[in-house]
A and B are shown apart, each in its own frame.
Chain A
Amino acid sequence: QQPVQSPQAVILREGEDAVINCSSSKALYSVHWYRQKHGEAPVFLMILLKGGEQKGHEKISASFNEKKQQSSLYLTASQLSYSGTYFCGTESNTGKLIFGQGTTLQVKP
């Protein structure tokens, strides 16, 4: 079952914050976050394992609520370089890694 990401698209000004959500109908073992810039390969951001932990990567952090089967990606004080499409991938007890449809983020000056 494909995870659902929201919003589908977001436009920010530099310095603004954003939250991208990823929800699954299945119990999850892990959530993976990647960013893909236009015409480039996806780049790894972070993996969250079940346990409700929050991780950080520069000004990008994420949380994983195992009970709600949700993960959120937090982008604070956004920079132009944050523009791209963000994908979450979820791993459930089926052992499959399935990605969401992506959230397109555009940061404007």
Chain B
Amino acid sequence: ETGVTQTPRHLVMGMTNKKSLKCEQHLGHNAMYWYKQSAKKPLELMFVYSLEERVENNSVPSRFSPECPNSSHLFLHLHTLQPEDSALYLCASSQDWSRLAGGYNEQFFGPGTRLTVL
């Protein structure tokens, strides 16, 4: 496997279900990201992990719970979602991330998980 992979590619779940999205990067990067991409809305950065520590949480509801067990893997745990949470969820990685100005580097994106909440 190369680059950034995401599983599953498609997921349909009910509002009472609990599911998890998985992301794996094979690039040796130290930073990983979760994005939400909805139709007709801009790309929304949800979470940033640097060296397995969560460094950004952009006002994301608690029904989304990220986990980064190591620098190569990132999960997004989902529970009691709403229909408006239906979207494409993209994972990305970059070599590093820094709190200093200009701390965001070139990001490599995975293919995404298309989530539908019924």
A residues with a Cβ closer than 8 A to B are 2, 29-30, 32, 34, 40-44, 47, 49-50, 87, 89, 91, 93, 95-102
Measured between C-beta atoms, what is the minimum distance from A19 to chain B in Å? 20
- Given the contacts A87-B43, A98-B45, A101-B41, A29 and B101 also touching, CB distance less than 8 Å: yes
Measured between C-beta atoms, what is the minimum distance from A91 to chain B in Å? 6
Chain B, interface SS category = loop
B residues with a Cβ closer than 8 A to A are 4, 40-45, 56, 58, 90, 99, 101-112
Report yes or no: B104 in contact with A42, Cβ–Cβ below 8 A.
no
Q: Which chain B residue shows the least CB distance to A87?
A: B43
Contact among A40, A47, A96 with B45 in the assembled complex (CB-CB below 8 Å):
A96
- Residues of A within 8 Å of B42, CB to CB, are 2, 87, 98-102
Report yes or no: A47 in contact with B101, Cβ–Cβ below 8 A.
no
